[in-house]
Amino acid sequence: MPIIKTSEDRALRLGTGAFAVFVVLLVAGIGVVLTQQSVLSIRKFGLAFWTRSTWNPVSGEFGALPFIWGTLYSSLIALLIAAPIALGIAIFINEISPLKLRQPLSYLTELLAAIPSIVYGLWGIFVLVPIVRKLELLAPEWLKKVPLFTGPPLGVGMLSAGVILAVMVVPLTSSVAREILRGVPMTQREAALALGATRWEAIRIALGYGRTGIIGAVMLGLGRALGETMAVTMVIGNNPQVSTSLFAPQYTMAAVIANEFTEAADELYLHALIEIGLVLFLITIVVNALSRILTRRVVRA
């Protein structure tokens, strides 16, 4: 009997393929539809949309600089806090903790990822923000002259947003970093130890071996932070301004969409908001694609 593909096998390939195509089409579709729905704003403002900071729906002037600034700034703070902690967790669970603790510890840290963002937001408003305000009140006068800490101690603002984002990003980054560390051959650590390396020096060798993947893990966290909406909008103060101060209430791209979308009365306003969504989409795609490439290469090797 000749070995041929039966028609049923063809059907399997095409039938399931039709659904798989849908996944690709979704990604492409989001890009196309968001572009279509933001043409008015793109045509009218061009690149100036991203360099101007006036956001005035009444007069029809839209500049998105404060939002992109707030998004990048809050994500940066989140990463600065979350990356070392997430790495520390990954190292502790993978390289240090006794075998028996590994499962429960990783489960506990991953629980953080299961909590909905609205619950983070609720906790943020009623628990975190008051704590942050108290800390801000404690700031001595000389510190408040530093551009990072100017302005009244409101509690809501960039600092609270950064902290809450950090908490939300930690589980993802640490679980990917653990995956990467698990992929580093044991013999790498042994080689270091056999040369008289301390425990930390051997861990560093493992980190070095997986460094591309570790960077990917941090970038994955960045991607998550950039698009996070509810928790941020509930604690950041939602004030479109470009400020370096951690105490200042600011705004993010995702937050302005969440808050103003249903209020957008005229089409230009709506298109301006969707353009923000489009750019957020593009940024997160680039960040996520990069991090996937980085993490995948290491896991494969």
Partner 1 sequence: MDEVKITVRDFDFYYGTNKVLHAISLDIPKNRVTALIGPSGCGKSTFLRSINRMNDIIPGIRVDGKILVDDVDVYGSGIDVVSLRRRVGMVFQKSNPFPKSIYENVAYGLRINGLRDKRKLDEAVSRSLDRAALLDEVKDRLNASALALSGGQQQRLCIARALAVDPDVLLMDEPASALDPIATQKIEELVFDLKKNYTIVIVTHNMQQAARVSDRTAFFMLGKLVEYDDTRTIFMNPSVKLTEDYITGRFG
Partner 2 sequence: MRKFKSNLIVALCGASVLLALVPLAMILFYVISRGFSALNWAFFTQTPKPVGEAGGGMGNAIVGTLILIVIAGVIAIPVGVLSGVHLAEFKGTRFSSMVRFAADVLNGVPSIVIGIFAYAIIVLPLKRFSAIAGGFALAIIVIPVVARTTEELLRLVPGGLKEAALALGATRAKAMFSVILPAALPGILTGILVALARVAGETAPLLFTAFNNRFFSTNVTQPIGSLTVQVFTYALSPYDDWIRQAWAGALVLVTMILILSIIARVATRRLERMARG
Quick one: 91 or 268, whose CB is closer to partner 2? Answer: 91
Are the C-beta atoms of residues 241 and 66 closer than 8 Å to each other?
yes
**Residue 27 binding result from partner 1, partner 2, none, given CB thresholds of 5 to 8 Å by partner type:** partner 2
Q: Judged by CB under 8 A, does residue 223 bind partner 2?
A: yes
Quick one: 229 or 245, whose CB is closer to partner 2? Answer: 229
Q: Judged by CB under 8 A, does residue 40 bind partner 2?
A: no
**Residue 265 binding result from partner 2, partner 1, none, given CB thresholds of 5 to 8 Å by partner type:** none
Alpha-carbon torsion angle 24, 253, 229, 177, nearest 10: 70
Q: Which of 42, 123, 152, 179 binds partner 2 (CB under 8 A)?
A: 123
Q: x/- site string to partner 2, residues 101 to 120, per CB under 8 A?
A: ----x-xxx-xx-xxxxxxx
Quick one: 22 or 147, whose CB is closer to partner 2? Answer: 22
Quick one: 26 or 101, whose CB is closer to partner 1? Answer: 101
Q: Judged by CB under 8 A, does residue 125 bind partner 2?
A: yes
Which residues bind to partner 1, rule: CB under 8 A?
98-99, 185, 187-198, 201, 205, 208-209
Contacts to partner 2 from residues 280-299, by CB under 8 A: 280-281, 284-285, 287-289, 292
How far, in Å, are 49, 69, 170 from residue 52 at the CA level?
6, 11, 33
Q: Judged by CB under 8 A, does residue 199 bind partner 2?
A: yes
Q: How far is the CB of 98 from partner 2 (least distance, A)?
A: 12
- Give Cα 3 to chain centroid, integer Å: 50
Are the C-beta atoms of residues 64 and 272 closer than 8 Å to each other?
yes
Helix axes 65-91, 253-260, angle to 10 degrees: 120
Q: What's the one-letter identity of residue 72?
A: L
**What are 195's two structure tokens?**
């040369």
Quick one: 59 or 187, whose CB is closer to partner 1? Answer: 187
CB count within 10 Å of CB 37 equals 17
Are the C-beta atoms of residues 201 and 87 closer than 8 Å to each other?
no
Q: Which of 12, 48, 135, 301 binds partner 2 (CB under 8 A)?
A: 12
DSSP secondary structure letter of residue 261? G
Q: Which of 192, 230, 236, 246 binds partner 2 (CB under 8 A)?
A: 230
Quick one: 199 or 244, whose CB is closer to partner 2? Answer: 199
**What are 178's two structure tokens?**
């653990």
Cα distance between residue 163 and residue 107, in whole Å: 22
In the three-class reduction of DSSP (H, G, I as helix; E, B as strand; rest coil), residue 64 is classed as coil
Q: Judged by CB under 8 A, does residue 80 bind partner 2?
A: no
Q: How far is the CB of 243 from partner 1 (least distance, A)?
A: 43
**Residue 66 binding result from partner 2, partner 1, none, given CB thresholds of 5 to 8 Å by partner type:** none
Q: Which of 76, 85, 139, 154 binds partner 2 (CB under 8 A)?
A: 85
Counting Cβ atoms within 10 Å, is residue 260 exposed (0-12), middle (13-18) or buried (19+)?
Answer: middle
Quick one: 17 or 208, whose CB is closer to partner 1? Answer: 208
Cβ neighbours for 94, distance < 8 A, ≥ 6 positions apart: 102, 178, 181, 182
